[in-house]
Amino acid sequence: MAPDKNATPTKERQGWRDYLRSLGPGLITGASDDDPSGIGTYAQAGARFGYATLWTALLTVPLSITVQYICAKVALVSGFGLAGTLREKFPKAILVPAVLALVIANTINAGVDIGAIGAGLNLIVPGIDGVVFVLPVTLVMLVLLIIGSYRLIDRIFKWLTLALLAYIGSAFFARPELGEVLANTLVPHIEPTPEFLLMLIAILGTTISPYLFFYQSEDEIETQISQGRRTLIQRKGTTRRELRLAGWDVSVGLLFSNLVFYFIVLATGATLHQAGQTSVESAADAAEALKPIAGDAAGVLFALGIIGSGFLAVPILVASASYAVAELFDWKRGLDEEPHRARQFYLVIAASMLAGMAINFLGINPIDALFWTAVMNGFLAPPLLVLIMIVANDKKLMGKRVNGRLTNFIGWTTALLMGGAALGWVALTLLGSGGK
């Protein structure tokens, strides 16, 4: 349903029911974090390195929650989405390349996620090649985004998150050795090799993804509009209670996301790695990790998980790219807007999704593509995080809601860790090439 234009905006919420109702932007963002790219990357991490990367799931909890909270806070204070707020601070000479890089990254990510959905469907219907499903899947998603209302999409996204719970059960049924699991969870393990650092970049890139920064802020604005705050004046500014609710929403979503991340690595480490299978070349390989809980139905269970997460993530990927472009050029935008009122916004969505779909006809292995899109996001995130942190500490834009010391420490630490991993991999790769 379209938002009620006559609704009276309220700044304060009361009671535990409001905490439940506030589960929206952050929960959706967190759940979409476990998209096919994330599932593919975590599965490869567990297969290749066993339990050695389990500690990263613990590390990324405060990092991802803090980053997404900052993005939510920027939107709640400014009344703009992230791109609109960045436009207030930085010249287009900086923002246009950043948004263009985001659109390219999101388009590729959406395309390979669509390919992963096709690969999942191929597990359910083995006689039909996964590529055959790419076009109909894309069209269904486009119809959902263009014709369906924002609230309908919101409800569907929340329910699709349940498909990811299978990975948690599988890890328990695999019966991993508890002492080894705890040691690798609590004690960071880093191998100074290009291969390990590349995996670390991919893990960070798919867990702290640039598209989530933009979608989080834009979904906060969409939620406020649906509550009747249609003008910038009505949306601008926020209360401590609203920030607490946003923090709660983000925390629940990302705790769920990181929990699933942890158990995918644990399940694949306990099954594939222990069996000597240290690479994941196909959806069928990844499905092997679910055999302890599903037996011969593992392929179907994996397919449901990756199809559900893909249908959750792809619309968010293309919508976040379109939001960024629309805010940069001040176009009418919003998933609750009728297509004829926001033509440019929906055209970017359609172009991004169709271009992504076309990637699947290049003959690229979908599982490999999922990993490399995670790496790409790992390189794109650090410079965007720097811009976000500068905005979040600008008193002219944020007033008294600038970041506190702890938020700043975690936010800047995230940018430094991700940037350091990327630079470390480049240095080790160049040194290795020089040695040859």
Query: What are the structure tokens assigned to 5, written together?
Result: 């234009």
pLDDT at 228: 76
The yes-or-no verdict on residue 367 having pLDDT over 50 is yes
Map tokens 């006809």 to a residue.
361
Instruction: Please report which confidence band the pLDDT of residue 11 belongs to, taking 50, 70 and 90 as the band edges.
Output: very low
The yes-or-no verdict on residue 7 having pLDDT over 80 is no
The yes-or-no verdict on residue 130 having pLDDT over 70 is yes
User: Greater confidence, 341 or 151?
Assistant: 341
Q: Would 2 be classed as within a structural domain? A: no
Q: Would 102 be classed as within a structural domain? A: yes
Residue 105: which domain range? 16-435
Which range has highest mean pLDDT (221-225, 303-307, 353-357)?
Answer: 353-357
pLDDT at 382: 97
Per-residue pLDDT, averaged over 235-251, amounts to 85
DSSP string of 261-324, one letter each residue = HHHHHHHHIIIIITTT-----SHHHHHGGGHHHHGGGHHHHHHHHHHHHHHHHHHHHHHHHHHH
The total number of structural domains that make up the chain: 1
Task: State the pTM of this model.
Answer: 0.88
Q: Would 5 be classed as within a structural domain? A: no
CATH number at residue 64: 1.20.1740.10
Q: Would 11 be classed as within a structural domain? A: no
Per-residue pLDDT, averaged over 340-353, amounts to 94
Distance CA 29, CA 407 (A): 19
Instruction: Please report which confidence band the pLDDT of residue 358 belongs to, taking 50, 70 and 90 as the band edges.
Output: very high
Distance CA 217, CA 48 (A): 35
R_g of the chain computed on alpha carbons: 21
Q: Would 363 be classed as within a structural domain? A: yes
Q: Would 373 be classed as within a structural domain? A: yes
Per-residue pLDDT, averaged over 229-233, amounts to 77
Which range has highest mean pLDDT (20-29, 153-162, 327-336)?
Answer: 327-336
Lowest mean pLDDT among 95-109, 159-173, 272-286, 421-435: 159-173
pLDDT at 24: 52
Q: Would 140 be classed as within a structural domain? A: yes
Q: Would 8 be classed as within a structural domain? A: no
